[in-house]
Structure 1
Amino acid sequence: MAVKCIFFSEFDPVAGPVISYQVPQEFPIREAFDAVHDLIITKPQLYDRLISVDAGGYRIVGCPKSIEDNRYARNALIFNFVLVFDEDTDTTYYEPVVQKLGGAFRTYELESHFLSTKSSKSTIPSILTQLLIRLNSTGICIIRIDDTNTLRLKVSPNVKDPPLVCDHHVPVFTQSSCQFKQLVKDLVAQEIIEYVNGFNHVAKISHLSEVSPVIVKECIQDLVIFGFVKLLSIFQYCNVYVPTQKLPQLMTEEELQTRCLQFVSLGDTRPKLADVFRILCSLEAGLSVKDLCFRNDPRSMSIDERKLIQFGIMEGLIHHLQKYPVLNRENSDIPTELQPLIKYLDGSHCFDEICCSLGVSNQTLDELIDKCIDITVCWK
């Protein structure tokens, strides 16, 4: 748990700097506060400045705010929403949250006197509790403040190597997409996730949502970082899959079995676990999904073959054998119609990527490659 405590501090005209509310209430922050309160409720020169200070074994991060008006005692309301961490915590990714938190409540006060009205101010402990829980669980907070205001905060996690999102990647939600869609208020993000169904690739989502590919990739990347989405390969009936060493877990882990049967069922009828396991075990090199369906007819067993493959990939139960074209000789006589392919023939670009980039089908790409004897297709 990164955030140990959140407190609301303000300047009391009699007592001076005080902690009015804190969550958890029993957290021992008072002594540290007394030692550095002049850096929490500060002089005017430090208003709106992000301040991080170590005291009592904790790192205290705040952004003091002030509103000048003769309706307040001493003609000013001075306050600070403060996050508390262990002293050795890297708080870089929480600093924008602290700044936005203070700024949001300054706006609420200017618009509706939220902090200076007893009834609305009394809701602060509840807000702090929700903040603490959500910052430490998902890093995303969407909290209804009143009838007209909603607080939205997001912690950008410390990701040294953020996942690369490409045009041919297929995002799929790892949890209920309906619940997630209700939480998202950003209009552009709403347009994007409307087309995230586990089968549309990034380029298609961009086209359908009429949102720039760059923005779509940034949105999907954030969802991957926070664990809401996984990236899969494009599903096609010509694809070939093989079981992995994790497949036997499906017969031993009840929780995995429950999720699998719920996920792959076709309609309201639950399939038999034995049928699901048998079909997955029958996957092998050289056998396409189309051939698999012809042999087993999964739909007659109430199994959605597309969802079955999707679940298998998400859980690591099966592996997609991708095709990678390689040019055997640099000085090969490449036909004119294959010239756009040359930069993809180093063995690091799969068929999905090439098809998306060139706007051709898998079959068309196969036919083009067959025209050159110096191109070898590797499966891996």
Structure 2
Amino acid sequence: DQLNANRVCNIEVSPSTTIYLKVARVQPDPQHVQDYHVPVLQFPVTPNQWDLTTQQILPYIDGIRHISRIALEADVEMSLVKACVQNMIYYGIITLIPIFQYSNVYLTTPRLVHLAENISLQDECIRFVSKQESQPLATFRSIFQLYCHMCPGMTVKDLCMKFNPSAHGIDEKALIKFGLMKGFIRRFQKYPIFLAPKPHSVENTRGLYRYFDGNHSYDEICCKELKSYQELEERVEKHPAIVVCWK
């Protein structure tokens, strides 16, 4: 009965022997970790409770560095970094978000309505996105206004120029991070497509062009080819046979 009710129980077999039983919760398989993903801690963790490799990468998990950069700066093999991050995702300690850039475009999701209706969630949001030196804290009205204006064609830079979040005590990077972590917004990404006359032409299968099939985002291509976003954008814009799909 105790095992069914509490998922744990102790069975005393003899004065010197006790069996401890616990029903472990089986979690779904965690999200596959990519080079261009940015891991974010859901809450503070104690490093000494983890294995040595995880302890080595934890200082670099700041919600800004992506997996490739963490592996490089922590001097840890990429596959090990991915394995550690995936393990922490399994236990609900880490979530993954896209790389932040001011040229990024974000869209709201139906879950944004929860923020409008939940007072405690609003308080959490205000504390998270308010600039540290901001007194008083940012108002929920200003924060929600920024979320509501996220739409196709509106980059983070455009949003900042139009509403000046800093003047309202809002940290725009924290605003985006909180929205992604809670599922209130999602990244609207660009996927280049090479409209070659022959799908298997030499140009279409070498260098950057092998990624231009509509299945690889700018983030992925930049990470794998060590290119800046601007370099890739210029290459795409100059080629008459390349179009961009937003999704």
Q: For 1:291 and 1:158, locate their aligned partners in 2 and report how far apart those are by CA, in whole Å.
A: 40
In structure 2, the partner of 1:302 is 169
CA spacing shift, 1:272–1:84, aligned 2, 3 Å: same
Q: State the TM-score, normalizing by the size of structure 1.
A: 0.58
Q: Which residues in structure 2 correspond to 1:12-27 (within 5 Å)? A: 18-20=14-16
1:103-141 residue CA offsets vs partner (Å, 9 max, x unmatched): xxxxxxxxxxxxxxxxxxxxxxxxxxxxxxxx77xxxxx
> Which structure exhibits the higher relative contact order, with contacts defined as CA atoms closer than 8 Å and separated by 6 or more residues?
2
Partner of 1:5: 9
**CA distance, structure 2, for counterparts of residue 233 and residue 185 of structure 1:** 25
Which of 78, 82, 100 pairs up with 1:213? 78
- Out of 145, 152, 157, the residue aligned to residue 285 of structure 1 is 152
**Equivalent in 225, 235, 238 of residue 358 of structure 1:** 225
Structure 2 length as normaliser, TM-score?
Answer: 0.88
Q: Which residue of 2 aligns with 1:27?
A: none
> Do 1:7 and 1:19's aligned partners in 2 also have CA atoms closer than 8 Å?
no
Report if aligned partners of 2:192, 2:243 keep a CA contact under 8 Å in 1.
yes
SS state at 2:46 partner: helix
Deviation at 1:184, TM superposition (A): 2.8
- Equivalent position SS for 1:326: strand
The answer to whether structure 1 residue 327 and structure 2 residue 194 are counterparts is: yes
* Counterpart residue number, 2:95: 230
Contact 1:235 1:306 in 2 (8 A): yes
- Separation of aligned partners in 2, 1:8 and 1:196: 44
Aligned to 1:84: 21
User: Of Structure 1 and Structure 2, which has the larger fraction of its residues in strand?
Assistant: 1
Alignment correspondent of 1:317: 184
Relative to 1, partners in 2 of residues 1:189 and 1:21: Cα closer, same or farther, differing over 3 Å?
Answer: same
1:139 corresponding residue in structure 2: none
| 1:168 matches 2:36 | yes
1:336 is displaced (CA, Å) by 6.1
Cα distance in 1 between the residues matched to 2:216 and 2:20: 46
Residue 274 (1) aligns with residue 144 (2): no
1:213–1:330 distance in 2 versus 1, CA, 3 Å: farther
CA RMSD between the two structures: 2.5
Instruction: Verify the 8 A CA contact 1:338 1:368 in the aligned structure 2.
Output: no
Q: How does 1:180-191 map to 2 (within 5 A)?
A: 180-191=45-56
* SS in structure 2 of the partner of residue 194 of structure 1: helix
Q: Is the 8 A contact 2:53 2:84 kept in 1?
A: no
The CA distance in 2 between the partners of 1:238 and 1:334, in whole Å, is 32
Contact 1:181 1:190 in 2 (8 A): no
Alpha-carbon distance, 1:8 to partner = 6.8
The reply on whether 1:193 has 2:96 as its aligned counterpart is no
Instruction: Map 1:69-108; keep pairs closer than 5 Å.
Output: 82-84=19-21
Q: CA deviation at 1:84?
A: 2.9
Q: 1:365 offset after TM fit, Å?
A: 0.5
Deviation at 1:339, TM superposition (A): 3.0
Contact 2:191 2:246 in 1 (8 A): yes
Unaligned stretches of 5+ in structure 1? 10-17, 23-81, 90-134, 137-156
Is 2:213 aligned against 1:346? yes
Q: Which amino acid aligns with 1:4?
A: V
Which amino acid in 2 is paired with 1:164? Answer: H
**How big is the shift at 1:219?**
0.3
Partner SS state of residue 245, structure 2:
strand
Q: Distance in 2 between matches of 1:201 and 1:295?
A: 29
Find the aligned partners of 2:205 and 2:120 in 1 and give their Cα distance: 49
Structure 1 pair 334/303, CA: closer, same or farther in 2 (3 Å)?
farther
Equivalent pairs, count: 241
User: For the residues of structure 2 that align with 1:250 and 1:242, how far apart are their CA atoms?
Assistant: 15
Partner of 2:129: 264
